[in-house]
Structure formats: C-alpha cells, structure tokens
Homo-oligomer: A and B are copies of this chain.
Amino acid sequence: MKWDTLDEEPCSLSRTVAVVGDRWTLLILRECFLRVRRFEAFQSSLQITRHLLSERLKKLVRFGILRRVPYSEAPKRYEYILTQKGLDLYPIIMAMVHWGDTHMGDERGRPLLHEHKTCGKLFDPVMVCSECGEVLHAKQVHVHAGPGREEAVG
C-alpha cells in the first residue's frame, strides 16, 4: 500500500490512520496529553530513538496536531504543544486507554485513574449517540455511503 497517500483515501478511518496509525505516534501523543513537551523529555520517557522521534514530531507538526513553539531564543529551542486538532484526538486516546483497562488489565489494577474536574469523580469514558444520548454499540449502527463515497459499502 502507498502509505503516503493514505490520507487521501475516501475513508475517514484511513485518513486518521495515516496520521496516528503507528505505535510511536500513539505513544508520543500519550505523552503530550500527560503534558510532556520537549524533545529530551519525550526521548527519555519513551526510549524512542532520536531519529524516529525527530521524524514523528515533524510529521505531527506537518499535519497540524502539534505546534512548534519557541521557548528559548539563543540557542533556538522549541516545545511541541497540542493544537485544537491535536486535543481533539483525546477521545481516541481515552477509548484506547479504556479498552486496555477493561481487556488487558492484570492483577495489579489500573495504571492510571482519571478524575473529571467538572464533577470531581473518577470516571470511565463512554461513547454515546449525539442524537439520543444512548450508549453506542456496534450492532446498533447501520452504515450508509455518504457524499464522499457514493458506491455502497458494508
């Protein structure tokens, strides 16, 4: 497959996969949501090779998920900060964390707990229908071809 044009496929999943569909990118984003911002910090917490880190950060900047913000003029140093587009990846990350909590846990219990500042409680993320608010399940969803792909699928 030509991964370099995956972001132009008539499929929103493919387009997302083009951006965040590799292991390092997802782990880098986890660090971003944990407020990590600097090259050395990413490198030492992830044990990623510097080469790949450099490349992945560039890619995330290119796709508008991170902004490269100077925090020192001489020498020039930059921090990588989530844009709104990047912050909007939160449901993906949280869905993955929740699935891991549910299905890949061990006897030690959850690695992290999440507190919702708005209500003050420890919570799990739940995916609901924007129209009726009910919890979503795969079997209750029917797929239609949209304007971006008129041939029927599924």
A-side residues, CB < 8 A to B, are 1, 3, 6-8, 10-23, 26-27, 30, 33-35, 46-48, 64, 82, 85, 87-106, 108-119, 121-134, 136-149, 153-154
Contact = CB atoms under 8 A, between A and B. Distances in A.
A16 B99 contact: yes
Contacts of A17: 23, 26-27, 96
Nearest to A49: B1
A110 B21 contact: no
A108 B143 contact: no
Given A138-B87, A149-B111, A153-B112, A101 B22 contact: no
Contacts of A132: 116, 118-119, 121, 123
Given A21-B26, A92-B95, A146-B109, A116 B136 contact: yes
Contacts of A119: 129, 131-132, 134
Contacts of A108: 10, 147-149
Contacts of A126: 127-130
A104 B16 contact: yes
Contact of A1 (B15, B21, B47, B105): B47
Given A13-B27, A91-B95, A111-B11, A118 B129 contact: yes
Contacts of A96: 12-13, 16-17, 20, 92
